[in-house]
């Protein structure tokens, strides 16, 4: 079984650098996919209230027999539940669906700037952290301006910002900001939902290393220092995406992938999604 490296978050909690995402997987199918992932060796699972599959994740965790302290479970607060009291209630509902007494990471899913509630919401997450109901708190889809503003009123610096990130959208300004504040960068849609897998540079590096295009892109993330959470419901791909710890890209290989940056956003724009 592959050994997945951990990164250490800014509060000392460790998090696997590679995890398993379940966006767009129906609840029933989620149980089977997470069971396959846990069996393959994944220990970090990324879900969200809005995915509608926290129960499916919880069933797989309960049936797996994997000790709770070996798991790293992330879920996210949906936009409609932003605000101090509603965030606390939404957290309780997520925990209940997951069948857990705590999560490892709780994220504000989107800044939704037009709602102007993320600073109030953050205070609720700080309370959840202080009460030991989550081991770390963070944000998702925060742009530099949202993060800078949050940091002005926050008592706790977010441990993580989970953002769309892949060779086609490299988010350098955000990654620099994260580095300055000790915030871990977690890449969602690390494979750009497949959109970068036929890029010539990716395909030619796959041939060079005798690996798949997805494995090349995941290696780029890992060597760049990103946390990755590729999603698949296909058993062979679930294994393939984990089988990335026994080869390395050279500096030239990394440069060839870094040259693919082109503002390729596959998901919503965080400035306008509300």
When the beta carbons of 36 and 162 are compared against ligand NAP, the nearer one is: 162
- Write the DSSP symbol of residue 51: G
Q: Taking the complex as a whole, how short is the minimal distance between the CB of residue 19 and ligand NAP, in angstroms? A: 8
Q: How buried is 134 (Cβ within 10 angstroms: 0-12 exposed, 13-18 middle, 19+ buried)? A: buried
When the beta carbons of 133 and 231 are compared against ligand NAP, the nearer one is: 231
118 labelled catalytic? no
Distance of CA 214 to the CA centre of its chain: 17
When the beta carbons of 131 and 268 are compared against ligand NAP, the nearer one is: 268
| Distance from C-alpha of 214 to C-alpha of 230, rounded to nearest angstrom | 9
Q: Taking the complex as a whole, how short is the minimal distance between the CB of residue 16 and ligand NAP, in angstroms? A: 14
Give, in degrees to the nearest 5, the angle at Cα 10 between 37 and 175.
Answer: 80
Q: Are 140 and 49 in contact (CB under 8 A)?
A: no
Residues that bind ligand NAP (CB under 6 A): 21-23, 46, 109, 140-141, 162, 188-194, 197, 212, 214, 229-234, 237, 240-241, 267
When the beta carbons of 131 and 242 are compared against ligand NAP, the nearer one is: 242
Q: Taking the complex as a whole, how short is the minimal distance between the CB of residue 18 and ligand NAP, in angstroms? A: 11
Catalytic residue among 42, 51, 106, 118: 51
Q: Are 144 and 174 in contact (CB under 8 A)?
A: yes
* Active-site residue set: 51
């Amino acid at each position: 079984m592959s050994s997945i490296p951990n990164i250490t978050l800014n509060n000392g909690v460790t998090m696997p650098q590679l995890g398993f995402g379940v966006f767009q997987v129906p609840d029933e199918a989620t149980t089977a996919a997470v069971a396959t992932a846990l069996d393959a060796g994944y220990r970090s699972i990324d879900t969200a209230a809005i995915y509608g599959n926290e129960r499916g994740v919880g069933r797989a965790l309960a049936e797996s027999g994997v000790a709770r302290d070996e798991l790293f479970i992330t879920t996210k607060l949906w936009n409609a539940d932003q605000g101090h009291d509603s965030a606390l209630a939404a957290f309780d509902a997520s925990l209940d669906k997951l069948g857990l007494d705590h999560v490892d990471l709780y994220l504000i899913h989107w800044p939704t700037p037009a709602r102007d509630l993320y600073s109030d919401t953050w205070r609720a997450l700080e309370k959840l952290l202080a009460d030991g109901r989550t081991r770390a708190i963070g944000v998702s889809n925060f742009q530099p301006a949202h993060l800078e503003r949050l940091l002005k009123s926050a008592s706790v610096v977010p441990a993580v910002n989970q953002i769309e990130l892949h060779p086609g959208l490299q988010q350098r300004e955000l990654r620099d900001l994260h580095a300055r504040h000790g915030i871990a960068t977690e890449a969602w849609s690390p494979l750009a939902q497949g959109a970068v897998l036929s890029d010539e540079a990716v395909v030619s590096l796959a041939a060079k290393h005798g690996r798949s295009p997805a494995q090349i892109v995941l290696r780029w993330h890992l060597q760049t220092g990103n946390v990755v959470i590729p999603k698949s419901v296909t058993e062979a791909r679930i294994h393939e995406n984990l089988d990335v710890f026994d080869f390395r890209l050279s500096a030239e290989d990394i440069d060839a992938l870094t040259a693919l940056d082109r503002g390729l956003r596959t998901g919503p724009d965080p400035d306008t999604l509300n």
